[in-house]
Structure 1
Amino acid sequence: MAMSCKENKQDAQMNTPEEVQKAKEQTPDVADASFVDGMTGKAWNNYLQVRTALVESDAGTVQTVAGNLAESFGEQRAELKSLAQQMADSDDIEKQRELFSQFGQQAENLFKNGLSEGTIYKQYCPMAFNNTGGYWFSDVDEIRNPYFGDRMLKCGSVTETIEK
């Protein structure tokens, strides 16, 4: 199934600096969700900070907050810890985006099963990763695409709403 965010790809890439700034201001810094344990809640908050840094195409901030994300996990979550640490170790924004996508796939059950109150939105961009698509999680239903940042800020859709 082929999808695009806009009929004209050039239109999809036009975001004025004012639109980008407004989006940054409207993106909450704190999740409106509660989790069954502190580790999952801390991981969720760090995940959201990584997502925001990717939306802003800020590789340096991704490194910092991904390091915090890695510290959220003990050895029982070694794969998640490793993916987060790889994000922290890379200064290549595109590599960080790939690792973020892999992290989201691995963390999906943790976030879904750990949610005790609130709402999480699973979102999807069909154009990410050379049109193979990519998912991410958000605490708001408004699309802020971590895979394209300000190039296609609003490309994507909510594919699932997880509520408790």
Structure 2
Amino acid sequence: MKRLFITTMVIAAIAFTACNSGNTSHEAHEHDSTTAAAGETAKAEAVGDNTPPTAVQPQFSNIDPKVAASLKTVVARYLQIKNGLAADNSGEAASNGKAMAEAMQQLDKSALTPEQQKVYTENEEDLKEHAEHIGKNEGNIDHQREHFAQMSEDVYALVKAYGGGQPLYHDFCPMYDNNKGALWLSETKEVKNPYFGNKMPDCGVVKEEIK
């Protein structure tokens, strides 16, 4: 019984630390297939943890100043949603989701060039929908996180095209959504996971720095 208890404790410890270290042991593979899958995913994503993130320059450098200011506000609200979810604060995420949807209404996309407009319109409808859903679901943080994962794809596309008004980091959590993984953007290089909050705050790796 003592040996069984020790083995169980070791497996639990490996599952908890896999996202950070990515060093799942062969023994854990033999005892717990779920832990093994999570650990292997985390291990694959954590390779190069000590490697500096790839530097990325936005696609467009000639954005209309008023549009750039509006986009900066949209991104700022996104970052506040991220910070709210990382702190397990559903109310903060909701209030900023509403504010983000309102900020998008103020953006004059007619000031963009046709090529620039194409990128924005491809992401506009989905992004606004996700912001509204996050705003309407205070108290249901799991649902907010589901929409945040999809929202992050849209914001990432916009930031890669236009920039975010400040350096941003493209982070990736390998364990979210049953180890399918999800990205998010952050204003700091320090990882603060919005998908697991205080359960696993530093789960994730920094992929890119978008200047």
- TM-score by structure 1 length? 0.75
User: 3-state SS of the aligned residue for 2:194?
Assistant: coil
Cα distance change on mapping 1:54 and 1:78 into 2, 3 Å: same
Alignment pair present for 1:8 and 2:14? yes
CA apart distance, 1:56: 0.8
Instruction: State how far apart, in whole Å, the 1-side matches of 2:136 and 2:130 are.
Output: 10
Cα distance change on mapping 1:160 and 1:146 into 2, 3 Å: same
User: 3-state SS of the aligned residue for 1:73?
Assistant: helix
Which fold has the larger relative contact order, with Cα–Cα distance below 8 Å and residues 6 or more apart in sequence? 1
Partner amino acid, structure 1, of 2:76: N
1:114-148, Cα deviation, whole Å (9 max, x unpaired): 22764211000101111110100011111000000
* Structure 1 residue ranges without an equivalent (≥5): 1-6, 14-34
How many percent identity over aligned positions? 29
CA apart distance, 1:78: 2.6
- Larger helix proportion, structure 1 or 2? 2
Cα distance change on mapping 1:132 and 1:56 into 2, 3 Å: same
* Structure 2 residue ranges without an equivalent (≥5): 1-12, 20-62, 108-120
Alignment pair present for 1:120 and 2:140? no
Q: Paired residue for 1:161?
A: 209
Q: 4+ runs of 1 displaced by more than 4 Å?
A: none
Alignment pair present for 1:44 and 2:78? no
More moved, 49-58 vs 113-122: 113-122
C-alpha RMSD over aligned residues: 2.2
Instruction: State how far apart, in whole Å, the 1-side matches of 2:164 and 2:184 are.
Output: 19
Is residue 12–residue 152 contact of structure 1 (8 Å, CA) maintained in 2? Answer: no
Is residue 73–residue 80 contact of structure 1 (8 Å, CA) maintained in 2? Answer: no
Which protein shows a greater Rg?
A: 2
Instruction: State how far apart, in whole Å, the 2-side matches of 1:93 and 1:79 are.
Output: 19
Aligned residues between the structures: 136
Alignment pair present for 1:86 and 2:133? yes
